[in-house]
Amino acid sequence: MKQKVSIIIAVALAMLMSLSLVQAQDNVIKIASQTPLSGPQSVLGVSMRNAVELAIEQLSGPIEELGFKIEFVPYDDEAKPDKGTSNANLIVADESILVVIGHLNSGVALPASEVYNGSNLAMISPANTNPNITDRGYPTVSRVCGRDDLQGPTGAEFANQLGVKSVYVLHDTTAYGEGVARFFRQRAEELGITVLGFEGTEETANFDSLIQPILALNPEMVYFGGIYSQMGIFLSQARAQGFDGLFMGPDGTDSSEFAQLAGEAGVGTYYTSVAGPANIYPNAAQFIEDYKEKFGEPPQPFAAQAYDATAIALLGLQSAIEEAGGKPTREQVAKAIRAVTDYEGLTGTITFDANGDPEIGLYYVLQVVSADPAEWSNNELLATLEIPSPLTAAAAKEE
């Protein structure tokens, strides 16, 4: 019996081997994405993956003309560091992968990018707003999204402009939510706003008891560093219990699902974002249209950034191919990606600084106008701020 099994396995292996010895192609370039595709965070991760696929489908024409085929390989990091690093090694081992788009969680991106950088593989991050991602100064790691230490303060500045005197700051205890909330609090305190509380919670459904002290303290504004799925539920419960102050969030708010979850309670919510509002940027509106048509649902936060990241990757690949006159090395691709200048994307015009941050970050402040998710793209743009990355700012100061 056991002998038979081993014979069957051997035969199967031999067959597979013979299959795999054929069909080798050297003109294939692969772009990998690594985001959570399973688990609670998969809503965002899948949307990012889809955006990458859409971008490759729409924008890989010029490279195909050069005689290369672009293939897309999505990986699932499950939002876990172990899985992320293990996948990173798998990605590195596949020599036809020249760019990685990822991750969603900074906790996964930081260890995984050590592996990418070890093999000179370029990674463009659409969603990791943690300052540490680029502050390490790796030549391979770039990002197209904003930084927590710029977005949080933007929110605080705007709250100050609104004349808010007291805030209550909440976060979701993730690196993203806690980071942006911390920087918000810091700037708010500098501006003389009273911070009545700074709390983190892992709760995702029942906020009843968390809301009680907020009602008793009665702040003029609540700032929630987190993702729409938690914020929408929190806000609808807080309003139902009689909270009538202002509400603000970071770019994790920027999803039509927020309107769905919060309903009427969400109207009037302020949020900062790095993605251009669809009603002003025709490209962004077109992206939302195309995305909906292909995947049957609206894009989530960070999907636009994933699209931009892929577009930049493709531009970099194209110039690397042209320069190398054939299949480029990973190092050449990483260099070419850094060299992409003034890319006009959905999320603004991007040129990387030496650390891989966009030189000038565009930060928008928007306000939710309707409880109808379909109206999300009509949210009102209240302010646009251009903020240089720390490196660019330091350079400007020296001059």
C-alpha closest to that of 234 among 313, 318, 320, 168: 168
Judged by CB under 8 A, does residue 267 bind other proteins?
Answer: no
Q: Which of 58, 260, 283, 367 binds other proteins (CB under 8 A)?
A: 260
Judged by CB under 8 A, does residue 89 bind other proteins?
Answer: yes
Closest contact distance (angstroms) between CB of 208 and other proteins is 4
Question: Binding residues for other proteins, how many (CB under 8 A)?
Answer: 109
Judged by CB under 8 A, does residue 396 bind other proteins?
Answer: no
Between 228 and 281, CB nearer to other proteins: 228
Between 24 and 396, CB nearer to other proteins: 24
In one-letter notation, the amino acid at residue 186 is: Q
Judged by CB under 8 A, does residue 242 bind other proteins?
Answer: yes
* Positions in 5-24 near other proteins (CB under 8 A): 5-6, 9-10, 12-13, 16-17, 19-24
Judged by CB under 8 A, does residue 249 bind other proteins?
Answer: no
Judged by CB under 8 A, does residue 200 bind other proteins?
Answer: yes
Judged by CB under 8 A, does residue 101 bind other proteins?
Answer: no
Between 255 and 318, CB nearer to other proteins: 255
Judged by CB under 8 A, does residue 76 bind other proteins?
Answer: yes
Judged by CB under 8 A, does residue 339 bind other proteins?
Answer: no
Judged by CB under 8 A, does residue 326 bind other proteins?
Answer: no
Judged by CB under 8 A, does residue 152 bind other proteins?
Answer: no
| Three-state secondary structure string covering the chain | CHHHHHHHHHHHHHHHHHHHHCCCCCCEEEEEEEECCCCCCHHHHHHHHHHHHHHHHHHCHHHHHCCCEEEEEEEECCCCHHHHHHHHHHHHHCCCEEEEEECCCHHHHHHHHHHHHHCCCEEEECCCCCCHHHHCCCCCEEECCCCHHHHHHHHHHHHHHCCCCEEEEEECCCHHHHHHHHHHHHHHHHCCCEEEEEEECCCCCCCHHHHHHHHHHCCCEEEEECCHHHHHHHHHHHHHCCCCCEEEECHHHCCHHHHHHHHHHHCCCEEEECCCCCCCCHHHHHHHHHHHHHHCCCCCCCHHHHHHHHHHHHHHHHHHHHHHCCCCCHHHHHHHHHHCCCEEECCEEECECCCCCECEEEEEEEECCCCCHHHHHHCEEEEEEEEECHHHHHHHHHC
Q: Which of 240, 280, 324, 374 binds other proteins (CB under 8 A)?
A: 240
Judged by CB under 8 A, does residue 139 bind other proteins?
Answer: no
Q: Which of 51, 54, 79, 159 binds other proteins (CB under 8 A)?
A: 79
* Positions in 210-239 near other proteins (CB under 8 A): 210-213, 215-217, 229, 232-233, 236-237
Determine whether 4 is exposed, middle or buried from the number of CB atoms within 10 Å of its CB (0-12, 13-18, 19+): exposed
Between 133 and 274, CB nearer to other proteins: 133
Closest contact distance (angstroms) between CB of 120 and other proteins is 5
Judged by CB under 8 A, does residue 82 bind other proteins?
Answer: yes
Binding segment toward other proteins, per CB under 8 A, in 83-91, 281-289, 318-326, 361-369: 83-91
Q: Which of 59, 66, 73, 382 binds other proteins (CB under 8 A)?
A: 73
Between 87 and 347, CB nearer to other proteins: 87
Q: CA 217 to CA 166: how far, in whole Å?
A: 10
Q: Which of 29, 31, 101, 110 binds other proteins (CB under 8 A)?
A: 110
